[in-house]
Structure 1
Amino acid sequence: MTMKLHSDMASVETIWRLLEADPLNSLHQGYDWCRAWEFTHHRPVAILEGCMGQETAFLLPLEIRQDGPVRKAQFMGSEFSNINTGLIASRHRRELAALDRKELAAALRNAVKDVADLIWLSNVPLRWRGVQHPFAGLDSVENQNHAFQLELRPTMEETIAPLNAKRRRKKYRTQLRKIEAVGTFEHVKPKEAIEKQVLLDLFFEQKRKRFEALGLPDVFQAAETQAFFHLLLEADRGGSNIPLELHALRLNLGGEHQIAAISGLSRKGDHVICQFGSIEPDCLPEASPGELLFWLMIEQESADGQSLFDFGIGDQDYKRSWCNIETVHHDIVLPINAKGQLAALALKLTTKTKALIKGNPKLYAFIQRLRAGKAKRNSTVEAPED
């Protein structure tokens, strides 16, 4: 096995697009996803190519992120990816899995030793759709966030059968009655470019208000982040792989149209990933418009023949209520030098601490209440005296 390091995407685009077609390779390592990220964030690119003889066995689309004094090689756009696999050539999976783990780790470190202090491959499922990842033997730490998926079947009735179907149908009918008492609704999937861009900007605004109310930093606030998602909307090349498409629930309440909920989906073959979602908090909240939009999307994806609806990483009650599959993600950690070793220890400790907090529902709820209280205090402005 030999390793090559590429500093630009165009030099490996042809083999990249061949590898991304494999259904086991994550959409987040697809060329269009990474190209949109690189174009908007301008971080140094470090694409690792592993070769078996003259054939490419894998590509790892990495970027170099400067965290203080530490240069970290990580998946491109990993801040917003829900599953990372790298790009593995199907015909070489067994050969890669059979490699000596120490030799593989040494080869990866050696390939980037001049540009990075640490390799940190986050959110990698060591086993995905019944297949073990060929890098599963490398040093890793369990990520604090698991991912949740729903197995889709040909009809909505079959899909919800394992999910306490009676309760879920009752909730759906209740939502419909609450909306029909005051108006109508429509499941919207914009087709025109301008409609998509306007809806995406509305999502950013809804999410801003939501983060502010919870006392959390707005991860979508940065101009380059918003530009990234706008570019993804333009990257649809047709076929079964779609970087980003938008869905919305539009309510007609007394002749006034309002977007009550928005979701962004990605598609990789028969795998549908929910990248993000938002709600308008004052728009008929008693009807749970976000939950209703999930029903409508899942119903459509089932009818369209998709096999897996992925709610992405993060443990939340609404995900558990929908999902019958829980996927554990790991972060693969390969320090390259002394500086990287210290950074790896710190990152592992942080990850384990977060996992400990999230594994204790009472402690996690207490911290969330503290954040919400802080946000409320920060948003309070005293009226000036006369």
Structure 2
Amino acid sequence: MAIQTLIDDEPQLAMPVRAQHARVSVHLSHNLDEVADAWVALAAADIASPGQDIGFVRTWIGALEIQEADQFFLVAELDGCPLALLPVYRRRVKGVRVLSFFPGDHVGCNAPLVDSARLARMGSVERAALWSALLGPLEGVDMLYLRAIPETIVDGVDIFAELGQSLAAETLYRSVFANWDEANTTQRSKSRRKHDRQQGERLEALGEVSFEEIKAGPESADLLEVLFRQRAARFRDMGIADPFACSVRKFYNATIAAESGVDVRLHVLRLNGEIVAMRYNVAHGDRMFCLISSMSDCLEIQTGSPGKQCLLRVMQTVFDAGFGVFDMGAGFTDEKRHWCNVQTPLRHHYVPLTALGTAAATGHRGTQWLRAKIKANKTLLALAKRLRARLHKNQPAEAGEAH
């Protein structure tokens, strides 16, 4: 299905100028291969999320067996050149037909793929018209829910501001440095280096410490087993349902296959040959995205802070290798405070398409607002955690959908 429209592609200047009309064509496909050329072109510069990596999404679709009819790839071209691509899938949530990003909350942020420079040159009205036109072909959908889109300012323009209704969400944390020396001197004070050294000495007192980066391959399968076993233990201690104890685990197993097209990097810290901390990362261009981290639950080993010792080595490895960005995802943690020098606000975007979708979007926004208020209040957050742990303890163990 394709439609065409005319929009003004012009800078926002103080004095009016003659509009330069550009033809925008929009089409919907249910097959990723049909939009692959546009996807690759838009992702050539850089991406904000693994969910914008074509190999990542292709593997997700295959592993979770998402039906073709539920795959929606909306493409806008400006004078024949790709301008925007929105990859989403349809699911039913309490009777509401929702379109959302494929990996959901398994990545730190999500976003449409866009030609940001051309989008920024358009005026606010033209961008609003573009998003409206892009969603024009949609049928059989009540609501578009686009979770955790980074606030993206290009030449002073918030290029996603006109994309539906938005709600402030969490913050995305990244380390952005030219090299390891810059990261080290900027983020590690004298007292921080001393503290890291003392933790390292405690760990080394327990035995031989080694660290390595391992790319996807036969050895990775056994490593993932350890990673998810350590994570499961951590979730149990926190009273949280394990988000990997479901079909999404099949996806992570699929990413380490040679044909997946996903550039997986596993960073592994060992003590006397046994894995005590690990990180699962996806590389794209000069960016590295950390999706999962784990460490041993042995109290003796934890005295040496294996998770922090692993991350210290990860940072040096990543920036020594020429990467410019290490993305540590959304939500504040102590390690992000130590290492991340760039913080980006995230927003949830809603586009209701039916009366049912309007009601669902209103309810969901209210729930998300309440969650944010609870997380910002230490007393309410502690109470919520205790309640969550109690409810999880009383629930029967079963695998649910995590996406």
RMSD: 2.5
Q: Normalised by the size of structure 2, how large is the TM-score?
A: 0.84
1:234 equivalent in alignment to 2:262: no
Q: Tell me which amino acid in the other structure corresponds to 2:86.
A: L
User: Does the C-alpha gap of structure 1 residues 298 and 176 become closer, same or farther in structure 2, counting only changes over 3 Å?
Assistant: same
Compute the displacement of 1:336 (Å).
0.4
User: 1:246-261 to 2 correspondence within 5 Å?
Assistant: 246-252=266-272, 257-261=273-277
Does the aligned pair in 2 maintain the 1:72–1:119 contact within 8 Å? yes
Compute the displacement of 1:198 (Å).
1.0
- Whole-Å separation in 2 of the counterparts to 1:26 and 1:133: 18
How many residues align? The count is 369
User: Does the C-alpha gap of structure 1 residues 132 and 361 become closer, same or farther in structure 2, counting only changes over 3 Å?
Assistant: farther
Structure 2 spans left out of the alignment, 5+ residues:
1-23, 397-403
Does the aligned pair in 2 maintain the 1:149–1:325 contact within 8 Å? yes
1:79 equivalent in alignment to 2:105: yes
- Whole-Å separation in 2 of the counterparts to 1:130 and 1:148: 22
2:21 corresponds to which residue? Answer: none
Does the aligned pair in 2 maintain the 1:65–1:73 contact within 8 Å? yes
Q: Normalised by the size of structure 1, how large is the TM-score?
A: 0.87
- Whole-Å separation in 2 of the counterparts to 1:263 and 1:302: 16
Q: Tell me which amino acid in the other structure corresponds to 1:63.
A: Y
1:384 corresponds to which residue? Answer: none
- Whole-Å separation in 2 of the counterparts to 1:325 and 1:319: 10
2:119 corresponds to which residue? Answer: 93
User: Does the C-alpha gap of structure 1 residues 375 and 118 become closer, same or farther in structure 2, counting only changes over 3 Å?
Assistant: closer
1:292 corresponds to which residue? Answer: 309
Compute the displacement of 1:4 (Å).
0.7
- Whole-Å separation in 1 of the counterparts to 2:253 and 2:351: 33
Does the aligned pair in 1 maintain the 2:76–2:85 contact within 8 Å? yes
Compute the displacement of 1:61 (Å).
0.9
Compute the displacement of 1:96 (Å).
4.9
Compute the displacement of 1:340 (Å).
0.5
User: Does the C-alpha gap of structure 1 residues 221 and 250 become closer, same or farther in structure 2, counting only changes over 3 Å?
Assistant: same
Instruction: Identify which of 330, 333, 342 aligns with 1:325.
Output: 342
User: 1:1-386 to 2 correspondence within 5 Å?
Assistant: 1-24=24-47, 26-43=49-66, 44-89=70-115, 92-96=118-122, 98-112=124-138, 114-127=139-152, 132=157, 134-156=159-181, 158-191=182-215, 193-222=217-246, 224-234=247-257, 243-252=263-272, 257-282=273-298, 284-372=301-389
- Whole-Å separation in 1 of the counterparts to 2:204 and 2:371: 43
Does the aligned pair in 2 maintain the 1:190–1:247 contact within 8 Å? yes
User: Does the C-alpha gap of structure 1 residues 130 and 149 become closer, same or farther in structure 2, counting only changes over 3 Å?
Assistant: farther
3-state DSSP of counterpart to 2:141: coil
3-state DSSP of counterpart to 1:244: strand
Q: Tell me which amino acid in the other structure corresponds to 2:62.
A: F
For residues 77-133 of structure 1, what are the alpha-carbon distances to aligned partners after superposition, in whole Å with 9 as ceiling and x for unaligned? 123122222211356333555553542343244221x13111111111122687755
Does the aligned pair in 2 maintain the 1:97–1:134 contact within 8 Å? no
- Whole-Å separation in 2 of the counterparts to 1:377 and 1:72: 30
Does the aligned pair in 2 maintain the 1:47–1:61 contact within 8 Å? yes
